[in-house]
Structure formats: structure tokens, C-alpha cells
Chains A and B, each alone.
Chain A
């Protein structure tokens, strides 16, 4: 039975250094439009990655592939070590997502929304209730549990949505431009809140954005342009002497926009 011991050793090794997210040579096209071209990136457990790109760079397509809205045709995507195509259930179980549009039902109360999303992940009711209370407190909406979502401000809605995305204790949080449409104050708050919560819970974060002021110098950054990763590394290194904005503009203006 030596082989099984060896196998187990390998398996243990794998678990020890499995990444929160691994995107491995993924390409995807819609008809003739190549949306992603041989994209590879990885995020360590509990780390933060800013995925920068202008509109149409392929951020949303990449997220759609990770969340299995489309199937990745080439390459592999693993969440916490689970291949999203071959083992979608454990992979999705480890995933929390904030979409561009708020996922909450405006007609229902915060409590009802959270109960529904907890149910979508199979949480027992008592656990769901307890976790909802804790999360709502952590996002600073205590006392808003029984307010209807439509009565909340934009920033409050987003915070409730954050509580929703973290309810089932994901290992990886995907954020698809979550601060678009918020005022400056709310944007800063949401950014700080997400970083704090992710840090406390040890959740890895992939933050897709085109707003460069959301990136901190120490963040891991990947710059996506026309479906390709143009640069990746620590924000401060990419910026070099100049600002990150200059580096970003330089990288993303070198190739002309394709006709769409």
C-alpha cells in the first residue's frame, strides 16, 4: 500500500498550498470576439488582488467564467483547489460574489433577503439567523434588519449586499466593480469595510475595478487589457517612479480599441 501513502502525501501537500483562486491558461470567445486570451493568475489564501481594466477588458467575462455563468472552454479555473467545471458544487460553495448590480430584492426587508441567500447555500435557519445578525452588525447596519431594501441609501444597500455575500463564509470573494454608482464618501467606506472584513475573516479578494484610487500601493495588481494580462505584481512596483494611473494608461492605450 505504499502507493496510497504516497498519494496521500501528495494530496496533503496540495491542500497545504492550494490557492484561493487559480486561473490557468483560460481563453474564451463569443463567436469571433476573443474576450479572454490565455489568462493566468492566482490569488493566495486571504490575499487581495486588484484586477484592473477599462470597460470591455474582459473582467466581467472572467468573473462569469469563475462563477460558472459560462463554462470555461479552454484552461482550468480552481477555487480553493476545486475545479469549477469538474467539481462545481464545492467550488461554488467557497465563493462569494458582489455583482455590479445589487443582488438584493428591493421589495423585501434586509432580514428576508439574508434569510433567502442563506437558504440558497443550505444554511440551517437558526445558524442563518445568527450569522445574519453578526454580519449586519459588522457592516454597520444594526437596526436596519427590518427595513425594506428600497428604503436604504446606495451605500447602505451595498453594505447589506456585502453581508449577503459573506453570509456563508466563502474563501474567495469576487467583487465586480462594487462601488460604481456610489458617491465618493460611500466608495471610500465600502472599500475600507471590505478590506477590513476580508482581513478579519481571512477571505481572499479579487476586486475588479477601473477606479485606480481604490488600489493601495501594497496590493497585488493584475492589469487586464483586450482579454490579456498585460502586467501583474505589486501596485507600487508596477507604478515605479510614476503613479499607478500613468502606468495603467500607458499599458492600456498602447493598442487601439478593436471594433465591436
Chain B
């Protein structure tokens, strides 16, 4: 204790830097604040992020409304319109794109001054990466909230409480998707550009999930596809959001998403850490 005090007191010690948790929390707040600020400045990014799910909601869902019959499955208590069914999936899609994009930039921009100066911050790597992912999640939640508002104008009105209960679900699913993106793009060189991520990650994950159609429908056409969907963590992200939006907890989904988050985050910290991971060996 004395030594710590002495270090703090000495003018030639650690300067102004605060290494303990109060300092870490300030760093976290700063990282999130900057990401949101940057996002607010980039209006085109915001619009394009919003247009994608809205196209699905307004056009795709309208077209498929009559084609796809839906039975009553929890959490829904009555027959629901197809638009209502896809809304949680589209929320997850927003997070999928957003998470992949921000994780990709963490790998792609790692030689830039901005990223380098971020990494020389004196806090542990896992903490910095976690904060950065959390900042990306905050931005994705802003997008989801705006999307849900537009969906509400379109007549998709889950219970009011659902808008609150969905938030913790979105934090968790956002973290899962972000750390998955970070892991994939730092571990696999081919996935270092967005086209690669699109083709090999986003599309397969999105289509082989319960985002667009309930899994029992998948089972009718192919049991193999059904099994793939059930192994896809994105399915559980969608279901977690779907249930949370109706004030319910899907425990299986919660468990899977939580487990996948821990796993992918650990793998991402490893893959991104130049001392052990894969980036440093590559050059």
C-alpha cells in the first residue's frame, strides 16, 4: 500500500495515469463515448445500417406474408403476421452487420495511429478489447432502437415492457457477435475484408437460423439443415431477442449465447493478442 501511495505521490512516478479500476472505468466510458460520437457524425453509415433491415421488413416480409404460414409458437400467443415474426431476426441482423463491421475495423486498422494509440493504453488487452466491443454494441443498440421505433410505426407493437427487457438481451447478443467477428477476422486471413465476412459468415449465419423462418419449417424440408440451424449460435441470439422482446427468457438461448460469448471472447483476446495470438506471427 505504501508503495502504491509513494508511486502516486512522486512527480516522476506514473504521471497522471490511474491504473486501478476507477481508471479502467473512465477508459471504458471514454471508449464508448467516442464510438457513439463517431457514429453520430457519420450519417451515411447510420442510414445504410437502417435501410438494410427496413428493406427486409417493408419488401421481403410483405412478399412472404402470404407464402409463409406460421403456427403459434412461443413467445407468441396468437397467430402473428410474418412482419412480426421477422422483426427480432432483423434486430439480430443489425447487430450481426454492426458487430462484424466494427470487429473487422479493429483488425484492419490495427496499424493506424488511432488503433495503435488505443493499444498502448496501459490497461490489460482483454479489458480494452472488451470495452471496444461494448462500444460497438452500444452503437448497434442505437440502431436497433431506431429500427424498432420504425417497426412500431409499421404496426409491429410488442408489449411496452418488452422494449426494456430486450436491452440486456441485445447487450449479450451484441457482445457475442462482436467477439465472434473479432475472433474470425483476426484468426482467418481470408476474412480480413468485408466481402469475405459477408459471404462466409454473415449470409450463412443469417439464412441458416431462425431469423427468417421458424426452425420446424426448416425441419420439414431438410433435417440436415435443421441440425445446422440448431448448431448456429446466431439462432440462439435471435431467439433470445425474440423472447426478451415479449418479456420472456428463453433459458436455452440465454445459456448458449452466454457460453458462446465467453468462448468467442476468450478466443478473440487470444487471436488478437500479438504475443501469443495469430496476428504477430503472420508478417
Contacts and interface: CB of A to CB of B under 8 A. Distances in A.
A117 B121 CA distance: 9
B9 interface: no
A168 B24 CA distance: 14
A88 B37 contact: no
B119 interface: yes
Interface stretch (A36-44, A66-74, A215-223, A238-246): A66-74
Interface string B24-68: 101101110110011001100000000000000000000000000
Interface stretch (B11-19, B76-84, B149-157, B178-186): B11-19
A121 B17 contact: yes
Contacts, number: 139
B275 to A, nearest CB: 3
A71 B274 CA distance: 7
Interface in B95-139: 112-114, 116-124
The 7 closest A-B pairs by CB, nearest first: A119-B30, A122-B23, A169-B15, A71-B275, A103-B113, A122-B18, A103-B117
B14 A93 contact: yes
Contacts of B38: 105, 107-108
B31 A119 contact: yes
Contact of A99 (B30, B42, B113): B113
Nearest to B273: A71
Interface string A85-96: 100111111110
Contacts of A120: 27, 30-31, 117-118, 121
Contact of B116 (A69, A93, A112): A69
Given A68-B275, A120-B121, A124-B26, 10 more contacts: A89-B124, A90-B7, A90-B14, A95-B122, A108-B38, A119-B26, A121-B17, A121-B122, A122-B19, A161-B113
Contacts of B24: 122
B1 to A, nearest CB: 16
